[in-house]
Amino acid sequence: HTRSYESFTKRKSRAEQSREDMDAMTKQEILLEKKRVITVQGRDKAGRPIVRIVGKNFPARELGGGGHAEAALKGYVRRRVTPAIGDAEFVVVYMHSGVDRRENFPGVGAVRTAYESMPAAVRERLHAVYFLHPGLQSRLFFSTLGRFLFSSGLYGKLRYVSRLEYLWAHVRKGELDVPEAVRRHDDELEQRPLMDYGIEASERCGVFDAASMDTTASLHSLRCAS
């Protein structure tokens, strides 16, 4: 009976904390929740929780400038993501498909700040970041500037995944919700494989150019490489 009561008390405490976190969320954080930008769902093949990030869903234009995107990310990660992970080792699956710097990219500075705002103990439990559909642009960016813009702990855990079929080697298929836009982009890459190497351009300009990176480094030579 004592164990049952303690278990009930813990569940009640978590539920109350969740309600308090919801009440404390800003309008910007609630927008991230509605857009399902960052969710904790499913497990990888080792049983680790998955933090799914859908880049296309990020409402950068709606959040506006002035540090709003950065503040929203930090607050949302602290209130919603970190508690959902708990004390477990975890992985991140970032879906880059359909990201456009004018519409839905917060800037590298905001991403870095959100990551570094997590408690050190949580960051240490991050096993890997699976970067789905990176394209040539992002590969070039991270190979040249990634070490300087991100901590070695995060940079060393980055894993490029060019196709969904390769993601399933690490993540349990069926446990991760893949948006239709991501599936369509995966199909397009299958039909036009040269897009992976920047030889055949996609319909959009690559996101990892000078304006989107929130850095003074000049990347104009990389513009519009998919």
Residue 195: per-residue pLDDT: 56
Average predicted confidence (pLDDT) for the chain? 77
Residue 212: per-residue pLDDT: 41
Q: Name the band, by pLDDT with cuts 50, 70 and 90, for residue 183.
A: very high
DSSP state for residue 38 in the 8-state scheme: E
**pLDDT exceeds 80 at position 223:** no
Mean pLDDT of 160-164: 92
Calculate ∠ Cα 40-181-142, nearest 5°: 70
**pLDDT exceeds 70 at position 23:** no
Residue 35: per-residue pLDDT: 94
Which one has a higher pLDDT value, 134 or 207? 134
pTM across the whole model: 0.75
pLDDT digits (tens, 9 = 90+) for 105-130: 766 767 777 788 888 899 999 999 99
Candidate from 6-15, 57-66, 85-94 with smallest mean pLDDT: 6-15
Residue 16: per-residue pLDDT: 56
Q: Which CATH class is domain 27-222?
A: alpha beta
**pLDDT exceeds 80 at position 61:** yes
CA torsion sign, 135 to 139 to 142 to 144? negative
